[in-house]
Amino acid sequence: GKAESLNMSMFPRLPSPKSQPHKVLIIVISTIFSAVVFLIIVAGMIYLYKKKKYAEVLEQWEKEYSPQRLSFKTLSKATKGFKETQLLG
């Protein structure tokens, strides 16, 4: 048989071809945001790794009796600049 002609008014209209800068802006912003979040996560993981790696190790007796470590500043002050007459211990 013979095919009927198409009624073009029955089809949905195509979107008008206009520039869509808002879509580009959304893509750029979401990409930058994702990169920043990724970098923050990586930096946090590196920080935790280094914190664990360089954590102070306490010996068993230090755990029982508290750490007996003094800073250089405290020792210098107690010995008045490490003078022979002010030695500790």
Tokens 């003078």: give the residue: 83
Residue at 11: amino acid letter: F
DSSP 68: -
Whether the pLDDT of residue 76 is over 90: the answer is: no
Average the pLDDT over 19-26 and give the result: 83
The domain locations on the chain are: 20-76
Identify the pLDDT of residue 8.
Answer: 84
Task: State pLDDT tens for residues 44-68.
Answer: 999 999 998 888 777 777 777 766 7
Q: Is the pTM of this model over 0.95?
A: no
Give the number of other Cβ atoms within 10 Å of residue 51's Cβ.
Answer: 9
Nearest one of 80, 81, 79 to 89, comparing CA atoms: 79
The tens digit of pLDDT for each residue in 26-36 reads 999 999 999 99
Q: What pLDDT is attached to residue 23?
A: 86
Which residue in this structure is represented by tokens 């007796």? 61
